[in-house]
Amino acid sequence: MSLHHLNPQQTEAVRTTHGPVLILAGAGTGKTRVITERVVHLIDKGVAPHHILAVTFTNKAAREMVARVRGLLKTKRSLQAAAEEGSKPVICTFHSFCVRVLRQFIDRLGYKRNFVIYDPREQVGVIRRLTSDWTKSHITIKPAEWLSLISRLKNATSWESLGMDAGTQRLAERLMERYGSALKACNAVDFDDLILLVLELFNTDKEVLETCRKYHRYIMVDEYQDTNGKQFQLLKALASEHQNVCVVGDDDQSIYGWRGAEIANLLHLEDHFPGIRVIKLEQNYRSNNTILKAANAVIRHNPLRKDKTLWSSKGEGPLIQLMVFETEEAEAQAVAEGIEVQRLSKRIPWNHQAILFRTNLQARPLETALRQSKIAYRLVGSQSYFDRREVKDILAFLKVLINPDDDISLLRIANVPARGLSAKTMQTLLQLSQDRNTSVWSVMHHSDLDTHLRAAASKSSRGFVSLIEDQRRFLKEENKMGLAHWARSFLDHIGYFTELKHSEKDPKIAENRMQSAQELVSSIDSLTASMGSVKGEDRLNQFLEEIALDQDRLDEKDKQGEGVTLITMHSCKGLEYPHVHIVGLEQGLLPHTRSIDEGSLDEERRLFYVAITRAMESLTISHCETRNKFGQTTPCQPSVFLNELPDKLVELADDVFKRPVSPSSGAAMFDALKSSLDLSDA
């Protein structure tokens, strides 16, 4: 297989297929191309496709990788037969891989194979239920905070490393035990459990471990710097025997320590895989050298890192623009005006511009300024499609049909639309389920139901049970009926669409809700199209699994558009924009107050590095002298990171504005203004 289109370092990374390999891939150095080419190269050398496992962190990245591998294989006719149906490389996320294992073996841990995966919203619901009586004890920790703490405990190498006080730790231990029991009673798991349960299987059932090792003989991990301790344990368990493991990562882009990522997994990988081959990818294909020199200069201030120097063949590029403003409103207005001037004078479209910021609160003045300037924009990270009421309702209905023991989903839709199951009735059923350590569904089946509920409520309960069981029987049959058609019929039959139409006074809002509901229902068939004529239950379960693991698939539709991108620095990793504006380079924002208090700036500096390296052609950086905090005007100090930018790469905005406009650029701006105003020559 020819690799002439790769640079020498990329070629070496592709051809080094045996033994442990660490590919240090700097920002924009083509790591995805290397991974996909490596997969195809392995197949070309005779490795059975199904023996190859490539793991990444996002479903979007996995889909892109699958598409690229498929495209490369199509260009190699000799490889098409090797990659035929039933013999394909496994390319997925860590969580998707674990689901594959658990669907086969989770019954060995006392679960049913049709388990459901609780998302964060459902997890918070469980925590809220379990801690409902704790407020009486003056415990003020919020459910979301408890959930975050439980997740940290599950993934921590040691509890001592979390530094919590003894009282909080005892409460956390108690809650985690109750939380685990509650999920298991519902035959449910959360995202942390997916990895932890696989590790439990590997530790307690050697047959399962050996089966997985035999199947996955060549392992690649993308974005390795983002792995936590448990993910590393999973990788080590799978790869320790054959040693054919290749990890691709960049310690300079490790920015998720706050959610458990351990940079030590990359920095000390040689301790676990002796003799590992290290290959550096340093040629950047995204940015010009001015941007890269600035990024290199900043990140070199971090003492603990693998040395690498990014460079580009794209030339030097313009100097970085530095702007200083009195207030955040002035900053936002100037950025908006600058974007519009570039659109008019240089024909730079809005979707080529991105504004990056450290915290979500910084978005408010930016949105205001863009609206006032009539500039279209999209705010990445706003309300998720899956946070909409109608979407949550429909998914809850579908989950109950697959797993009626799912208390969280059942409690949500038991009285939607209203069918005589009041909040008081559901509270009674929930209390009975907790007293008997069983699910609400089991209580609704119990022969003594009439002794605990009023006659009307008992009748409504049995009617709901009958409705669900009828649909479950239908789904268990082998049929060719489209699931989307069935789902529409079911939701229409129970009166859900009618209820949705009349739930909003504003017809436009009601129409939007109907549209998002129909969009979700329509997606059922598209996400299960590859399954063919199998039982509706299996197809529906596959759909729910896809949704649980890949919510960004539908969320991405909301992020499409032609506007300026507003995005946090944490959300921008993996993305690129021709023109980038980094705002709020101040002490307390970047670096954040928390990192200053803790005396550790390394991760904040890496965050700044990531932000810089999103820019392809131009970079603007700004900070304010004052900022409004909690209703008070507070003075601000420039970020220490500004001092780390080489003077020769930066020019102040005052210097820019003093330069005269050239005749050619002036004419271009005038022509653009005329065009935008639809003016004609007199």
Q: Give the active site residues.
A: 31-32, 222-223, 253, 614
Element (H, E) at 127: helix 120-130
Q: Where are the alpha helices (DSSP H) in 575-662?
A: 593-598, 602-612, 653-658
Contact partners, residue 446, CB within 8 Å, separation at least 6: none
In sequence order, the β-bridge partners of residue 648 are: none
d(CA 136, CA 116): 32
Q: Which of 549, 646, 44 is nearest to 292 (CA)?
A: 646
Q: Which of 10, 588, 640, 577 is nearest to 291 (CA)?
A: 577
Bridge pairing between strands 626-629 and 632-635: antiparallel
Q: Give me the residues paired with residue 624 across strands.
A: 325
Q: What's the distance, CA 359 to chain centroid?
A: 17
Helix or strand (DSSP H, E) at 55: strand 52-56
Could you tell me the two tokens for 54? 């490539």
DSSP output for 331-397 = HHHHHHHHHHHHHHHH---GGGEEEEESSGGGHHHHHHHHHHTT--EEETTSS-GGGSHHHHHHHHH
Cα dihedral sign for 602, 363, 515, 491? positive
Stated as kind and residue range, the H or E segment containing 433 is helix 423-436
Give the amino acid at 85.
Answer: E
Read off the tokens for 312.
């580009």
- Of 313, 314, 296, which Cα lies nearest the Cα of 305? 296
